[in-house]
Amino acid sequence: MWGVWLSVLDRVESVGPGSRPRAVVFGCAGLALTPDEAAFFRESDPLGFILFRRNCDSRDQMRRLVEDLRASVGRPDAPVLIDQEGGRVARMRPPHWPAHPPMGVFGTLAARDPAAGREAAWINGRLLAHMLVEVGITVDCAPVCDVPVEGAHDIIGDRAFSRDPAVVIDLARATADGLLAGGVLPVIKHIPGHGRAFADSHAELPVVEADRAALEATDFAPFRALADLPLAMVAHVVLKAIDPTAPASTSPIVVREVVRGPSIGFDGLLFSDDLSMNALQGDARGRAEAVLAAGMDVVLHCNGDLGEMRALVGAVPGLSGAAAARWERAETMRHAPDPADIAALTTRLAELLGRAGT
**300 CB-side CA count, 13 A:** 27
| Active-site residue flag, 100 | no
- Amino acid letter, 301: H
Catalytic residue among 36, 60, 202, 338: 202
Q: What is the DSSP string of 159-225?
A: GSS-SSHHHHHHHHHHHHHHHHHTT-EE-EEEET--TT-SS-TTTS--EE---HHHIIIIISHHHHH
User: Would you tell me how many other CB atoms lie within 10 Å of the CB of residue 151?
Assistant: 7
- Amino acid letter, 53: R
Catalytic residue among 273, 274, 297, 301: 273
User: Would you tell me how many other CB atoms lie within 10 Å of the CB of residue 347?
Assistant: 12
Q: Looking at 74-164, list the stretches that DSSP marks H as alpha helix, in order from N- to C-terminal side.
A: 103-112, 114-133
User: Would you tell me how many other CB atoms lie within 10 Å of the CB of residue 33?
Assistant: 21
**In whole angstroms, what separates CA 290 from the centre of its chain?**
19
CA dist 109 and 354 (Å) reads 10
| Active-site residue flag, 130 | no
Classify burial at 299, counting beta carbons within 10 Å of its beta carbon; exposed 0-12, middle 13-18, buried 19 or more.
buried
Phi and psi at residue 108, in whole multiples of 5°?
A: -60, -45
Give 236-293 as a 3 state SS string. CCEECCCCCCCCHHHCHHHHHHHHCCCCCCCCCEEEECCCCCCCCCCCHHHHHHHHHH
**228 CB-side CA count, 13 A:** 7
Beta bridge partners of 173: none
Q: Are 3 and 322 in contact (CB under 8 A)?
A: no
Query: Which residues are designated catalytic?
Result: 202, 273
